[in-house]
């Protein structure tokens, strides 16, 4: 990989390669864009096949965070960190050493918990730096606010695609009944929606059947249902060349991260099929809104008000996609870039004045 060429193309500001012998640590902190505020992005610990794979993940995910914060109207930039390690070899010493690297950035990068890190690990990192989020439990975790954001996203998509203000009587298929999926089912049930659900855990599907009168289907069937909305709330990469031909739902609106197998190819495949896709990082921004509010001093009313913006932002994205004849994925990027560029322009004017 031609490092500077790649970074110039993707627009990153800074990449920190963190290395220590004792304790043994290899980590990469990628800061994509801090125009709107300090770069926020969780830390992932993963046994990458090689260093290039780790770097690519950090670069791609940090850029995604810039777009996510910009679309959510949060005064934060995009960052991401990866620790290259096998989860079995994770030690407190390693995490504390990593915390010292985060601290060396003096708040330019603020991090939290991602794959293979636990809330306890984040607490260990916080022994070395204040620049972490998700340690406080004041907000009760991000899932309730994330599921509310997804509900608002579904409302916006139904209004735009089906020209309906009311959700009652619609059919929604929910993939994954974890923290977000279960909360979402509760909201949808309260709105009089007929639910179809799947999970690999039969205890969770039984519970959804009992609590919400949901119809349980297999993990394969969920893609094929004749429903109004498909809500992926489990895994990434599930919208791909294999699954898209089966989809009948005119709307995809769910919380899972990185739903598109290949961003360009599969967002266009969905658009060609007439399926309205709610970009995942826009509809699931409740989690980021939650940690951002924890950071500035949690105020539940304020946090929930910010989540309300997801509805208007998605409507704006659908309209950009329609008028500029691009996929909703590209429209979301354009909206984010416009917001960032307008702040850049006013910063330049201030300096010039
Ligand atoms: P979770 O781990 O609590 O739930 C995931 C559920 O998916 C589990 O019940 C699991 O059994 C099920 N599942 C796994 N494989 C499946 C399959 N093949 N078919 C059907 N079900 C399957 O996770 P969560 O916190 O509910 O998050 C769900 C998704 O939303 C994830 O992709 C996550 O990254 C994303 N997300 C979550 C938040 C949040 O606030 N928790 C915020 C933003 C994005």
- Å from CA of 74 to ligand 1 middle: 24
What 159-164 contacts at long range (C-beta under 8 Å, 24+ apart), as own/partner pairs, is 159/315, 160/276, 160/314, 160/315, 160/318, 161/250, 161/251, 161/276, 161/318, 162/228, 162/250, 162/251
> For ligand 1, is residue 153 a contact (CB within 6 Å)?
no
Taking residue 20's Cβ as centre, other Cβ atoms within 10 Å add up to 15
Expressed in angstroms and rounded, the spacing between residue 11 Cα and the centre of ligand 1 is 30
Domains and CATH numbers, the chain: 7-59+76-125 (3.40.50.10860), 143-336 (3.40.50.720)
**Residue 83 forms beta bridges with which residues?**
27, 45
Check 80, 155, 204, 333 and give the catalytic one.
Answer: 80
Rounded CA-CA distance 85/6 in Å is 24
What strands lie across the sheet with 276-277, from one edge to the other?
A: 215-216, 194-198, 171-175, 229-232, 251-252, 276-277
Q: Whose CA is nearest to atom 4 of ligand 1?
A: 178
Residue 239 Cβ < 6 Å to ligand 1: no
Please give the model's pTM, rounded to 2 decimal places: 0.91
Both structure tokens of 282: 């826009």
Give me 21's structure tokens.
């012998």
Establish whether 80 is a catalytic residue.
yes
pLDDT per position in the chain (353 positions), as tens?
A: 788 998 999 999 999 999 999 899 999 999 999 999 999 999 999 999 999 999 999 999 999 999 999 999 999 999 999 999 999 999 999 999 999 999 999 999 999 988 899 889 999 999 999 999 977 666 667 889 999 999 999 999 999 999 999 999 999 999 999 999 999 999 999 999 999 999 999 999 999 999 999 999 999 999 999 999 999 999 889 999 999 999 999 999 999 988 999 999 999 999 999 999 999 999 999 999 988 998 888 888 899 899 999 999 999 999 999 999 999 999 999 999 999 999 988 887 777 76
The answer, yes or no, to whether any atom of ligand 1 lies below 6 A from the CB of 142, is: yes
Atom of ligand 1 nearest to the CA of 182: 26
Mutate to test the pocket of ligand 1, among 114, 207, 233, 237 (most ligand atoms within 8 A of CB): 233
CB of 237 closer than 6 A to ligand 1?
Answer: no
């Amino acid at each position: 990989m031609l490092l500077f060429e790649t970074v110039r193309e993707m627009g990153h500001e800074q990449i920190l390669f963190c290395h220590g012998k004792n304790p043994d640590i290899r980590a990469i902190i990628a800061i994509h864009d801090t125009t709107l505020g300090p770069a926020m992005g969780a830390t992932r610990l993963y046994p990458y096949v090689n260093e290039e794979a780790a770097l690519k993940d950090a670069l791609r995910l940090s850029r995604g965070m810039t777009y996510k914060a910009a679309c959510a109207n949060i005064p934060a930039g995009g960052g991401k960190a990866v620790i290259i390690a096998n989860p079995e070899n994770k030690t407190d010493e390693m995490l504390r050493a990593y915390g010292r690297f985060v601290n060396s950035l003096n708040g330019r990068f603020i991090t939290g918990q991602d794959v293979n890190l636990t809330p306890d690990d984040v607490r260990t990192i916080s022994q070395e730096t204040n620049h972490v989020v998700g340690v406080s439990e004041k907000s009760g975790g991000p899932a309730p606010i994330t599921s509310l954001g997804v509900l608002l996203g579904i409302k916006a998509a139904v209004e735009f695609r089906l020209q309906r203000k009311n959700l009652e009587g619609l059919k929604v298929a929910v993939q994954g009944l974890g923290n977000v999926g279960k909360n979402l089912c509760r909201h949808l049930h309260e709105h009089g929606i007929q639910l179809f659900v799947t999970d690999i855990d039969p205890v969770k599907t039984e519970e959804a059947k009992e609590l919400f009168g949901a119809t349980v289907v297999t993990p394969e069937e969920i893609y094929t249902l004749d429903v109004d909305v498909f809500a992926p709330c489990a895994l990434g990469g599930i919208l791909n060349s294999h699954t898209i031909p089966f989809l009948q739902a005119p709307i995809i609106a769910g919380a899972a991260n990185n739903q598109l197998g290949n961003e360009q190819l599969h967002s266009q495949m969905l658009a060609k099929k007439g399926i309205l896709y709610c970009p995942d990082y826009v509809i699931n921004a409740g989690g980021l809104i939650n940690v951002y509010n924890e950071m500035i001093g949690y105020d539940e009313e304020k946090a929930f008000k910010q989540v309300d913006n997801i509805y208007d932002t998605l409507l704006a994205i659908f309209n950009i996609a329609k008028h500029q004849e691009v996929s909703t994925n590209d429209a979301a990027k354009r909206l984010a870039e416009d917001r960032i560029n307008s702040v850049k322009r006013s910063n330049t004017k201030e300096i010039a004045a």
